[in-house]
Amino acid sequence: MGVDLAEMPTKLREVERTDFEIRLYKNDMPWLPEDQRDVHLVRMKLGKGEFLFGSAVKSKTLVTAAEQMDRQKSEKANRMLYSHLPQFAEGFNPNVYMLKNAVSRMPIFYLKNGTGERVYFMRFGKIDNMPVIVKIAACNKAQEPKVMGVIADESRGERRMRM
């Protein structure tokens, strides 16, 4: 039986406001309610890793799915995200999966744990030599089919088979 990394305490993380922002476009993220959206980024340092991070959980379905997580599950999802992103930002993390059949032109990545929390994010190159990562969705396992209906291009039957 493995250790649930979401349960492990994270190292001290520093979050610093920046003037950096990224402009996201509907043709990169078809679920955006508008043609473009500016997302402000913070600099995150965790251990030796440093990256820029923003959140763009948009569209009614994605917001509703995230709101379905209670406070404890939401905190677990955030701890999971913060514990895995530094290694992912440096290039690779074996616990990060790439979503098959993403509706975006760019890959969508996700983290999941045994208790059902899922966090979805995208990588948008680098700014000032720091990787840019934007969270696009978070949900519990029960809400995952609804999230997949927005960010993945698969039929209902394919989603059921994957589950």
Q: In what order do the strands lie in the sheet with 97-98?
A: 13-25, 36-46, 49-55, 130-139, 118-127, 109-112, 97-98
Q: Rounded to whole angstroms, what are the CA distances from 40 to 23, 56, 94? A: 9, 9, 28
Task: Report yes or no on 3 lying in a domain.
Answer: no
Tens of pLDDT, residues 19-69: 999 999 998 899 998 999 999 999 998 777 789 999 999 899 999 999 999
- What confidence score (pLDDT) does residue 158 get? 52
Task: Report yes or no on 108 lying in a domain.
Answer: yes
Task: Report yes or no on 92 lying in a domain.
Answer: yes
pLDDT of 116 strictly over 70: yes
- Sign of torsion, CA 20 25 28 34? positive
Task: Report yes or no on 6 lying in a domain.
Answer: no
Structural domain tally of the chain? 1
Task: Report yes or no on 42 lying in a domain.
Answer: yes
Task: Report yes or no on 9 lying in a domain.
Answer: no
Total-model pTM: 0.85
CA distance linking residue 61 with residue 145, whole number of Å: 11
Task: Report yes or no on 38 lying in a domain.
Answer: yes
Mean pLDDT value across the chain: 85
Single out the residue of 21, 45, 25 nearest to residue 33, CA to CA: 25
The residue segments making up the domain with residue 56 are 14-162
Task: Report yes or no on 7 lying in a domain.
Answer: no
